[in-house]
Structure 1
């Protein structure tokens, strides 16, 4: 094995040491230091006044309220906010107590939402939003009340929410397009960025959120492999688990599909453009800033479209299903797929991601070997 060659000083890190907090994220906290929680009344980012007022009515301190409010991710807050506003309007029109009510009022509210045309998934979000602060007079939780659970089953029967995809696209089609993007030195920065992004998405099976959070300080490269550690909270992060280290091997059979070579070239190309930016992916136009999560999705969509995939049917997140399904079809053990992608149970893969075709090092290599 060749001597390990670290990424140039600004991007290298000893993976056995403590991971630095990503500069673009507020979710990583230095070890041993507890973040100072701002008073809930001053925490304008939450914008869930009903939840805060519910906590205040319980006599909780501002600091305690702020910590409790922090349990909801920003995406969850945004999702809840819509239905909490609708609930407030519903209660004001009927002169109902916003914080304490009966199950009949909750069912009437959910029925109004159902009649407005929304489906099971949105109604379930509304139920969860109310559960975050609302108390029923009988002290039963909204989510576990038998009538509300029966109501939700009825909604599913009348207006079922089915999986977006019953099949997935052929990974070979996209790999052949990526292979055509060569040599790397002739590619524009945008093309190079899109090629690296799609290789990472397919060979690791990760969400766009995870790829968006990759930090160059948490990347370790040798001639034979690249290791990436995510130092930020992810959608699936919890006190007991976090995504493990991503390990991707070089692919000597075809340098045009080698993620290690592509990663090295991208880091060398972008090093003089980064200034203080440490996120892996930066914008292709000046000033070179960290790309947004939406940009990651657009880049993935562009590659799919250029490869000939129907982007009206398949969204950027479909790379996760396509990667895992192809790995399963190649008889890569399900345990390997689950460990590589970061799922905790094989039931998640089998129920939501294993689709017929219309990681660790082994997974990425087998996926590339399948490209004819």
Structure 2
């Protein structure tokens, strides 16, 4: 029977070395909050020393150990920049999967969370989870045959997720009471981490989008439904049960239109894509969202009014968020973000009407990553959950 390697005790030299290695790997994987990553994701050893607070000699030794283990690679630099250190391409890949009510998207990325391949396909409305997972698995197999180099998968779902389970059939039919993590791991044969899609959008915009450099922000995803991901002190905030950010079901008018959750006058009932299409069904009965956006930009006053109404209600909901959390930025993503200023201008007006003066001018900006935000976030989640370990000798 092989001898078990003894665990390092806290404070031991081996434990300290492992902790220092992890600090360097964390910077190589995620960068420095508030600072842009280089195009190649590389850092000089001097930059690693400043970012980690470790002595240059310590960083040099760690880089040498990580390089010998195959986790990092170095390139000779030129001029004042010096040699560049980055995670090795051979250290493995991660995968992001983003499910919506009518789509599935799959992306492959490296351990910094950078996407190297992606694909998006339509799903039938009301699809079952087995069908959806099977389609995602076939997409992944085409992108990485055999999955040999894939380490972890991050998966986003458009519904509240508690202990990997969706409890509401009204919000995401076909997935209710399913242990999404267990079902996905069975289908993919790989470790899977499940998260709400708005949370993943918040993570992506915080790391690689318009939210970079803000330690507190809110990402609001508006598509078939409405949800928010909250960043506080550079970390996702989940709440006690993991369902923080369900702003789509804030009640704006308890005598308002019936929402799919069973309540009346929810924010979602006024601001979702379905509501805008319903308002325009008389004039543009076969139109999808892009057609309505095009009509509004061409001067159709009814289409413009539909987005203005949605935006004013959105601002009302955002006022509750900024009054409570005081984020430095609100980012609007999802399908409705394609309306741009048609929606956002009136959202800012609604926010100013209902928020305290001290937070009424909180910036409200469109997502930089667009419809890809949740997918990018799923890849980042998988990269974060992939433990990089250097075996002691």
TM class, shorter-chain normalised?
Answer: under 0.3
Considering fraction of residues, name the structure with more strand: 2
More helix by share: 1
**Length-normalised TM-score, structure 2:** 0.23
Q: TM-score, normalised by structure 1?
A: 0.24
